[in-house]
Amino acid sequence: MRNKRDVYLDDRPWEEALAGFLEHLTAKGSLSPGAAEEISVEQALGRVTAEPIFAINSSPHYNASAMDGIAVDSALTFGASDASPKRIQLGEKAQVVDTGDPIPAGCDAVIMIEDVHFVEDEIFEITSAAAPWQHVRAIGEDVIATEMILPANHRIRPMDIGGILAGGVTRVKVHPKPKVALLPTGTELVQPGVDLKPGDIVEYNTRVFGALVESWGGEALRWPITVDNWEKLKDSLLQAVEQADIVVINAGSSAGREDFTAELIRELGTVLTHGAAIKPGKPVILGEIMGKPVIGVPGYPVSAYLTMELFVRPVVYQKLGSVPPQPQTTEAIISRKMPSPMGVEEFIRVKMGQVGEKIIATPISRGAGVIMSLVRADGILRIPRLSEGFRAGETVKVELMRPLEEVRQTTVVIGSHDMALDILANHLRRRFPEASLSSANVGSLGGLSAIKRGECHLAGTHLLDEDTGDYNISYIQRLLGDRPVVLLNLVYRQQGLMVAKGNPLKIKGLEDLAREGMRFINRQRGAGTRILLDYRLKQLGINPDNIYGYNREEYTHMAVAAAVASGAADAGLGILAAANALDLDFVPVVEERYDLCIPGEYWDTPYIQRLLEVIATKEFRQQVEALGGYDLRDCGKVMYRQGV
Amino acid sequence: MRNKRDVYLDDRPWEEALAGFLEHLTAKGSLSPGAAEEISVEQALGRVTAEPIFAINSSPHYNASAMDGIAVDSALTFGASDASPKRIQLGEKAQVVDTGDPIPAGCDAVIMIEDVHFVEDEIFEITSAAAPWQHVRAIGEDVIATEMILPANHRIRPMDIGGILAGGVTRVKVHPKPKVALLPTGTELVQPGVDLKPGDIVEYNTRVFGALVESWGGEALRWPITVDNWEKLKDSLLQAVEQADIVVINAGSSAGREDFTAELIRELGTVLTHGAAIKPGKPVILGEIMGKPVIGVPGYPVSAYLTMELFVRPVVYQKLGSVPPQPQTTEAIISRKMPSPMGVEEFIRVKMGQVGEKIIATPISRGAGVIMSLVRADGILRIPRLSEGFRAGETVKVELMRPLEEVRQTTVVIGSHDMALDILANHLRRRFPEASLSSANVGSLGGLSAIKRGECHLAGTHLLDEDTGDYNISYIQRLLGDRPVVLLNLVYRQQGLMVAKGNPLKIKGLEDLAREGMRFINRQRGAGTRILLDYRLKQLGINPDNIYGYNREEYTHMAVAAAVASGAADAGLGILAAANALDLDFVPVVEERYDLCIPGEYWDTPYIQRLLEVIATKEFRQQVEALGGYDLRDCGKVMYRQGV
């Protein structure tokens, strides 16, 4: 067993590490584009010019009529007026032309067809004179031979193709696409689609990298998986250095047992940086072997994605003679406190939505292993190295991961989780392609608090009033005072205990939770399910202290189900749909009501009205019912309203 | 000869025409995506999901260590503290794990390797207890089996590929790429690359359309050129309707002699709109044949581009279940008056740059035939249908055609034209990939006025002082008062008469311009060349009224050269480089000085300092000298400064 636990990681600001890296590579000549490729203009979309493109011919290459009409010698028309119209006979100095036709010799102007009146077959009348050169597109009006159409290092757009062809150029010299070798390494990696054993990790990072490289204008060369073996990794690396312009090694960049990437790069070349002051992505390696940039990218998918963006993207763009475009940004109000350690630049994925006049940003999982945090993110919030984070309500700058216009069209729902919301999100997008639904799961009370703070368009809530047996209304009155709201039912649903398939512990109800050896998994404080549990436990006279795992909290039904499915817990309270999804048994405990609480000011906006339209469709209802455990008898019905 | 001069064009607002078109197509079912294609995830970048993607497995699919360290039964660690460290022996309930390893049965937490101290080979010591589930990635932490990873109608991005593969999905259903048939029509059209005769028009529009369609996510099918023949066009059209989802006919949409596209569509199907209240692009045709959208796009390249964007793009996106992204916009100050007729929405191409705190937008050619106006544009300014245009200095909203960041990095030069500026622009971009040079040619006086109005970073000027024989300084003093400026020499250059090859009229100097039958072409008032001409004419005692063409003005040296090359004029005053470029003869008249006038406040900014660095390079100087007629003896030398 190699022991490299004492590997020391640098802690450099990433800009400094990148600048040093680029400087080193520039000195080695590694960032110059390769020899230019000559390609057909029609293939050139998105490619980058290797040299300026000069026009070979002018366009138009002759004096052309700019109108349908009659080309004339303007001298013939002088003196024509309403008072004294002039008659002209078609002939050498008055010829019918269409747009684009050459101006005949002897003519120097065009009269629009609308302005002539034929009095005989060959004789027309005009009531105003033609100025010399009127309605004539002079030679070179668009492009003049020898003029520069595009400079070097220009990424070719659709209109550029027109300009180039107008200038008579049909083949162009472009920079070759930088070849980026992507080396997945790790004995634990398996290819997508195989049956998974515990400990297997699906190798998808290099697929994501490949798509990134392609979108930047590079060419991705995906290598086979290399196991954690010094000689094999060395062979792969040397091969990659030989065949590619840039080499990315995925994983093997932290300080773990089999992480010898940095040592290997050092043996074959130079390590410039191992470790940057970023989170996630800290253990990145920036190195160089035989003049080729070699980047060690950490294994966790979010770390990997961010280090690709920070360190590989600028190298690819430099090899194309250009700089990466700046991200679009927006100002947003951060909805929760977001502390961050000093000395590290942190990259937080956020969901966003426009609520009233403000764009609200809500942080999502910080886990570097959660690729879905990137899939779900609307933007990335950077917490600077010398900051300790942000206070709730602070205005921050967010880099957009989808267009601001889309963010603005997003209905933001915060509160309790229900799978019907996923189905709603999907049908919403089908029916209204411009719209989307963004949901943050913080429990029912959290949702009502979010309404109070003006952070969402609606909240999903299923809060039982222990005195009246009714749902939500007393909580709304207590938490939101007389603020105008509409409470709309979405579903009734079964809550019950999710237990392992076959119910091996023979759990019959909540009474069994206090049994010796039983391991429970709970929902977080404030969640409607948690309140329901506490209410029932009290009724049954069960002391929560006697339930092992009562304090272990998960934030969604599915997370609870997953804990049971994995054997980490024996039972958890949740909905049938979640149990079904993970093939668990389900012991019904109660039917409960799940409502949507909508502030009055949003009721008449598209954010809500689009949802109402979708909720009313047969397709939505059928798909929810098919999940099982749902009753839609009051779906879309207003259960309560105040001040609206 | 068919006579359709009386074809009546509609004048509908384009939004209304588009809405009617989409409504008609929706009713016909023409906008639904075709049958979904199943493709590998690795091929899916940029494709649009045809149905939601649900996870097949959870990720992780087992409880995994989130750290390199030791997996333990947390109960073993309780009570450990600095005061009373705890020793634990490796074994079933304390096993070394790497990040990603499964948590062994019997263990429920991981202690980071940094927090353990091995006292013997198999015995380690800890000084704090492990909380249950610490540093454990629970099953489904990232993706939970059955959860929705992506909704339908979602365009797949690099990170989505990671999310999909993490959920165990390797093949996805996507909408087919809408097939767009592109039919170039017109007897005058020739393919790029052939020798051009007068009247030939190079068919490049469908190449531009193809690139647009591709960039929207469609598939372009380019048809051969069809001549203006009713039966042939009908055959092509029927074939296209059969093979494609969307048909674009280029040209044949105006009301000219051979323009029977609208009539043909009407014979085979329906014409919904012929003519929209837009400029350029008015004669667009929106029709439908056998349920397929058929769009007649005007022939002028700018009209064609805009109508593709306005009418074809939304159809392609709708066929992909989505809506086109909104353009990025910026506020800008318009530098010149921009009148526009009521009743028409006009689309003006503008150049932009940041001058001081403001973004300045300067309109470029309005000609619908000038594709270079799109190539050169930084943005498009829309003048609404019910507006009569904008006043100079008004704040307007501009749709960006290149990123705002690039616009901000652009050095804006307004004033007299010199080819050395093109070479400067190219070398600037080579040396500073983030930078660019934008030049607007309005003559020397126009440049100094632009400085006065704060519209540019520098002006190119060659204004002769008729009293002193010196250049520029007296004009600066008169026009800019005591405003701080630096006057820097760029080049000395030959001005002379450009005449046809071989000088058939034996022109020897300015004296010959007043000769009977001589046709001159002049520069615009305020241009340095014009001032030089007037000065010399006065010295020579020649009355400008005796020069035929004295009042016909062009705005650049190359435009004057082109007029001579085309035979539209016999002589024009200009620089040798322009004459050489179009293979004209050149009769030298005088050497003149061409300077750059730089306001003091920009001298120390990158806008200017980058130029100075480029001007100093050997490559720049050699390339300018190679043009001929230039002397760089004072290039980069400060000729005058005031207040700096």
Count Cβ neighbours within 10 Å for each residue of B342-364 and write b for 16 or more, e otherwise.
eebbbbbbbbbbbbeeebbbbbb
- The reply to whether residue A41 touches residue B568, judged by beta carbons under 8 angstroms, is no
B381-399: per-residue pLDDT in tens? 999 999 999 998 899 999 9
CA atoms within 13 A on the CB side of B479: 22
Chain A interface mutation, best of B61, B112, B159, highest count of A Cβ atoms under 10 Å: B159
B503-512: per-residue pLDDT in tens? 999 999 999 9
- Which range, of A523-527, A639-643, B325-329, B422-426, averages the lowest pLDDT? A523-527
C-alpha A129/C-alpha A91 separation (Å) is 18
- Do B229 and B343 lie in one domain? The reply is no
The CATH number of the domain holding residue B247 is: 3.40.980.10
Three-state SS for B485-532 is EEEEEEEEEEEEEEECCCCCCCCCCHHHHHCCCCCEEEECCCCHHHHH
Whether the CA torsion B399, B402, B405, B409 is positive or negative: it is negative
B308-332: per-residue pLDDT in tens? 999 999 999 999 999 999 899 999 9
- Do B355 and B451 lie in one domain? The reply is no
Min Cα–Cα distance to chain B from A348, Å? 15
Strands A148-150 and A189-190 come out as unpaired
The CATH number of the domain holding residue A84 is: 2.170.190.11
Per-residue confidence at A434, pLDDT binned at 50, 70, 90? Answer: confident
C-alpha B300/C-alpha B303 separation (Å) is 5
Tokens representing B487 are 């006057």
C-alpha A177/C-alpha A540 separation (Å) is 70
Tell me if A461 sits within 8 A of A416, measured CB to CB: yes
B507 assigned to some structural domain? yes
Q: What is the DSSP letter of B84?
A: S
Position B255 scores a pLDDT of 53
Give the number of A-B residue pairs with CB atoms closer than 8 Å: 331
Query: Within an 8 Å CB–CB cutoff, is residue A372 touching chain B?
Result: yes
B470 assigned to some structural domain? yes
- Mean pLDDT along residues B296-318: 97
- Mean pLDDT along residues A378-394: 94
Work out the burial of residue B135: count CB atoms within 10 Å of its CB; fewer than 13 is exposed, 13-18 middle, 19 or more buried. buried
C-alpha B388/C-alpha B342 separation (Å) is 5
pLDDT at A32 over 80: yes
| Helices of type H across A116-204 | 158-166
For residue A242, what are the contacts with CB-CB under 8 A and spacing of at least 6?
A: none
- Do A74 and A43 lie in one domain? The reply is no
Position A255 scores a pLDDT of 53
Q: What is the DSSP letter of B59?
A: B
- Do B167 and B191 lie in one domain? The reply is no
Report chain B residues whose CB lies below 8 A from the CB of A430.
151-153, 321
C-alpha A142/C-alpha A154 separation (Å) is 20
Per-residue confidence at A467, pLDDT binned at 50, 70, 90? Answer: confident
Min Cα–Cα distance to chain A from B287, Å? 24
Q: Measuring CA to CA, which residue among A430, A265, B254, A159 is closest to residue B263?
A: B254
User: What range defines the domain where residue B379 resides?
Assistant: 327-404
Position A596 scores a pLDDT of 98
Considering only residues B489 and A228, tell me which one the structure prediction assigns the higher pLDDT.
B489
B88-131: per-residue pLDDT in tens? 999 999 999 988 899 998 888 999 999 999 999 999 999 999 98
- Do B228 and B199 lie in one domain? The reply is yes
C-alpha B205/C-alpha B456 separation (Å) is 34
- The reply to whether residue A152 touches residue B68, judged by beta carbons under 8 angstroms, is no
C-alpha A272/C-alpha A17 separation (Å) is 8
- Do B374 and B490 lie in one domain? The reply is no
A480-508: per-residue pLDDT in tens? 999 999 999 999 999 999 999 999 999 99
CA angle B160, A414, A445 (to 5 degrees): 145
* Residue-averaged pLDDT of chain A: 92
- Do B384 and B304 lie in one domain? The reply is no
A460 assigned to some structural domain? yes
Three-state SS for B228-282 is CCHHHHHHHHHHHHHHCCEEEEECCCCCCCCCCHHHHHHHHCEEEEECECEECCC
Position B2 scores a pLDDT of 37
Tell me if B490 sits within 8 A of B635, measured CB to CB: yes
Portion 141-160 of A in contact with B at CB < 8 A:
141-154, 157-160
- Do A45 and A77 lie in one domain? The reply is no
- Do B152 and B205 lie in one domain? The reply is no
Phi, psi of B88 (to 5 degrees): -130, 140
- Mean pLDDT along residues A37-49: 97
CA angle A113, A116, A121 (to 5 degrees): 100
- Mean pLDDT along residues A439-447: 85
A407 assigned to some structural domain? no
Query: Within an 8 Å CB–CB cutoff, is residue B542 touching chain A?
Result: no
Position A416 scores a pLDDT of 87
Work out the burial of residue A7: count CB atoms within 10 Å of its CB; fewer than 13 is exposed, 13-18 middle, 19 or more buried. middle
- Do B502 and B609 lie in one domain? The reply is yes
Position A254 scores a pLDDT of 60
Report chain A residues whose CB lies below 8 A from the CB of B158.
208-209, 211-212, 215, 305
Domain final residue pick, B319, B349, B365: B319
For residue B23, what are the contacts with CB-CB under 8 A and spacing of at least 6?
A: none
- Mean pLDDT along residues A565-575: 90
The CATH number of the domain holding residue B615 is: 3.40.190.290
Position A3 scores a pLDDT of 41
Cα distances (Å, whole numbers) of residue B175 to A14, A375, A429, B146: 40, 20, 15, 22
Query: Within an 8 Å CB–CB cutoff, is residue A628 touching chain B?
Result: no
- The reply to whether residue B41 touches residue A207, judged by beta carbons under 8 angstroms, is yes
* Residue-averaged pLDDT of chain B: 92
- Which range, of A522-531, A594-603, B86-95, B340-349, averages the lowest pLDDT? A522-531
Query: Within an 8 Å CB–CB cutoff, is residue A323 touching chain B?
Result: yes
Tokens representing B320 are 């992909």
Nearest CB partner across the interface for A323, out of B150, B426, B434 = B434
Domain final residue pick, B290, B319, B348: B319
- Do A167 and A260 lie in one domain? The reply is no
Residues A491, A496, A498, A504: what is their CA dihedral angle, to the nearest 10 degrees? -150
- Mean pLDDT along residues A595-601: 97
- The reply to whether residue B137 touches residue A369, judged by beta carbons under 8 angstroms, is yes
A408 assigned to some structural domain? no
- Mean pLDDT along residues B69-89: 93
- Which range, of A248-252, B5-9, B402-406, B585-589, averages the lowest pLDDT? B5-9
A414 assigned to some structural domain? no
Tell me if B510 sits within 8 A of B543, measured CB to CB: no
- Mean pLDDT along residues B196-210: 96
The CATH number of the domain holding residue A353 is: 2.40.340.10
B588 assigned to some structural domain? yes
- Do B497 and B543 lie in one domain? The reply is yes
- Residue B12 corresponds to which amino acid? R
Tell me if B380 sits within 8 A of B348, measured CB to CB: yes
Cα distances (Å, whole numbers) of residue B390 to B170, B338, B414: 55, 5, 21
B157-201: per-residue pLDDT in tens? 999 999 999 999 999 999 999 999 999 999 899 999 999 999 999
Position B1 scores a pLDDT of 33
Residue B169 DSSP SS3: coil
Per the structure, how many domains does chain B have? 5
Nearest CB partner across the interface for A565, out of B108, B139, B152 = B139
Position B10 scores a pLDDT of 86
- Mean pLDDT along residues A559-567: 86
B530-572: per-residue pLDDT in tens? 999 999 899 899 999 999 999 888 877 878 998 898 888 999 9
User: Residue B170: closest CA among chain A residues belongs to which residue?
Assistant: A193
C-alpha B31/C-alpha B14 separation (Å) is 19
The CATH number of the domain holding residue B167 is: 3.90.105.10
Position A2 scores a pLDDT of 37
Q: Measuring CA to CA, which residue among B227, B281, B282 is closest to residue B258?
A: B227
Strands B389-390 and B338-339 come out as antiparallel
C-alpha B551/C-alpha B355 separation (Å) is 34
B216 assigned to some structural domain? yes
Domain final residue pick, B295, B319, B343: B319
